[in-house]
A and B are shown apart, each in its own frame.
Chain A
Amino acid sequence: MILDGTLPARVAGIDSLSPTLKRFRFEPERGCFPTAAPGAHVLVTLRGPERVWKNAYSLVTPPEARDAYAIIVRRVEESRGGSHFLHDHLRPGDRVEIGTPASLFPIASLARRHVLIGGGIGLTPFLSFLPVLRERGAAFELHQYCTDAETETFGRLLAEAGGAVTIHGSTSRRSVAEILADQPLGTHVYTCGPERLMAAVEAAALDLGWPSHSIHKESFGGAEGGKPFSVRLARSGRSIAVSDTQSLLEALEAAGIEAPCLCRGGACGVCLTGVIDGEVEHRDHVLTEAERADGKLIATCVSRARSDALVLDL
């Protein structure tokens, strides 16, 4: 399937799961959605009255759900604002734009057993894993860590998963190390949740001698976006702002500049552009260590500024 741009959709339903958790169901404006990977996330574009948010959320629906995608969002007090908007303003029937489902958290094809460890709202990617693992007849177990106040809420979400699920409230819980100590060879562990939990899972598995390739942590794409910065184009004297959700290349294109590019993934080297001033945060796969240190070139499709501004030879 070749997908171009975002998937136009509407809010089809909103369920309140707890005082701070809501499930949002989206239906496509026409046709059906593309098959989403287990563990996929989407970038949801929210157009508020004053600003636009682009937030990444894991889909909680399985690959076969093509007529609707769903996400579960926690209303965070100290958020950039996206979760407030979703919780307080989004209504059934509202339009949203959904990005292509991307997966950086796949199910390992050769794992003999799968151990899923979620923390709080980090459970969400596993909700799309579970039906797939069941259908494949895979050996798995899921451990959900949460506060005592939320054990019932998560218990309801996991009701269909049956005996392979253990919910660990804050007052009585097995340690991650205990869970992992008991696993057969060939087991893979997947974890999503607070950074401390994921670090504990990784440390415990490595301690027990697990190969690093059998430890999987959910991390949203680092190469997409980052700190906003500005670029000045030396030849034309123009200044262009690069937002936190835009690549430098996208910002150049949005300003009507025909910047060279080919793969848009930092591999081909076609977009390499001269840097006259400023410090680059290199994210490409083309430049050598020496070239990076030299700092005279930037791959506009993926790399960004470490300084507040860059001056480019454009």
Chain B
Amino acid sequence: MGIQFRKDERFRENFSYVNSDAGVLRFPFPFGEDRYMYSVNIEPHIPGGPTPAFAHAFDIDEHYIAECQERAMVLADDPGRCQVLPHMMPAQWDTLELLMESLAADYPEHFSLDKDGDTWRWINRPLGIDQSFVFGRPETLPCAPFEYITRQAQGDFTLQDQRDDNLFVDGGMVTTQADWSLDFDIGMSFHEWHGPVPLAHETGVFDRALRFLLRLQYGHPVRRLNWTMTINPRLDTSPENYPDWGPDRTTVTPENVAEKVHLRVELQTLFRLPRSNAILFGIRCYLLSLKDIERVEKWRKRLHRVLTTLPPELAEYKGLTRYRDTIIAHLAPHDDGAELSPGIQPDQTVLPPA
């Protein structure tokens, strides 16, 4: 059975965004323990694990069509959200091949790929696309190969070139980001673009992560979860349009906190690409309202504990300072302090009514 895609969602203005019960239960909740601190929490990206979001190389869910439409709107306003430096053309084709082959293999009811030598035919049923093109010949596609395929995928992507024992962010499609700018960061080295992150540099997290990623092997991608919070189900929280969403942080009240505050989780995946030796970094964004989180007993108690013990520098960096206490006050009455199972899985298969 195919995925039932929601067609009328909006991630801006008069927001319209709903998760089905299955959508709530498959949410990749990021807290496996009652306290949170940065670590090199990288694990092999192999199918399976505590959430169905880990089941495939690239996760597609009920928000697929709406997210692709949102991406098209962002790009129409600001084409600079997709940029790739000229030496990354082999990496563009690597990305197209990886995404098309993965989606066609993992979701055959929605995507197909047929090859006759270099002539490929790509069918994307949810978006109504049927495209024949010649692999390696950009002029046979409506736009450059990286933009072409990432317009048809959920989540942001960046391309890291590897040279001089470092990684450089030399391309990306970035429209669903947690307050960072590709236009600003493009061309930066690993430590440059991670510069703003607090506390982690001192503990050597980035030195270790870079050394590990320089040795990332083809066919053995890795993943990690990262998180922040977003007011309203807004995907495009970019520095470029800060005036549109920054003020939302001042609108959280005890009455609306459960509807307005969303836990924003990034399923980050890293793939070594073959022709280019570049790394494709997938940043797949999931939003879940506090109201929906509360329907999972383990998650609401754990979120309460994590927020209570979160170091202030992290709360500030993630932009939670203004409304963290409002969330804690909302969750506190529903946390009895009972011991919770380790890991991120919800520990229940049905939800109470919303």
Chain A residues within CB distance 8 Å of chain B: 1-4, 34-38, 40, 63-64, 100-103, 106-110, 132, 135-136, 213, 223, 262-269, 285-286
Contact = CB atoms under 8 A, between A and B. Distances in A.
Contact of B220 (A3, A267, A286): A3
B201 interface: no
B45 A2 contact: yes
Interface residues of B, number: 45
20 contacts: A1-B98, A1-B102, A2-B45, A2-B219, A34-B218, A64-B118, A100-B219, A101-B218, A103-B272, A110-B163, A132-B275, A213-B163, A263-B42, A265-B212, A268-B41, A268-B42, A268-B212, A269-B40, A285-B207, A285-B208
Most buried by A among B47, B212, B218, B272: B218
Contacts of A265: 212, 215-216
Nearest to A106: B277
Interface in B210-246: 211-212, 215-222
Interface string B254-290: 0000000000000000011011111000000000000
A229 to B, nearest CB: 23
B88 interface: yes
A101 B161 CA distance: 19
B297 interface: no
Those 10 A-B pairs whose CB atoms lie nearest each other, nearest first: A267-B212, A3-B219, A106-B277, A100-B219, A285-B211, A37-B274, A35-B274, A213-B164, A109-B87, A268-B40
Contacts of A36: 274
Contacts of B274: 34-37, 40, 63, 101, 103
Interface string B42-58: 11111100000000010
Interface of B: 39-47, 57, 87-88, 90, 94, 97-98, 101-102, 118, 136, 161-165, 207-209, 211-212, 215-222, 271-272, 274-278
B212 A38 contact: no
B162 A2 contact: no
Contacts of B57: 1-2
A286 B42 contact: no
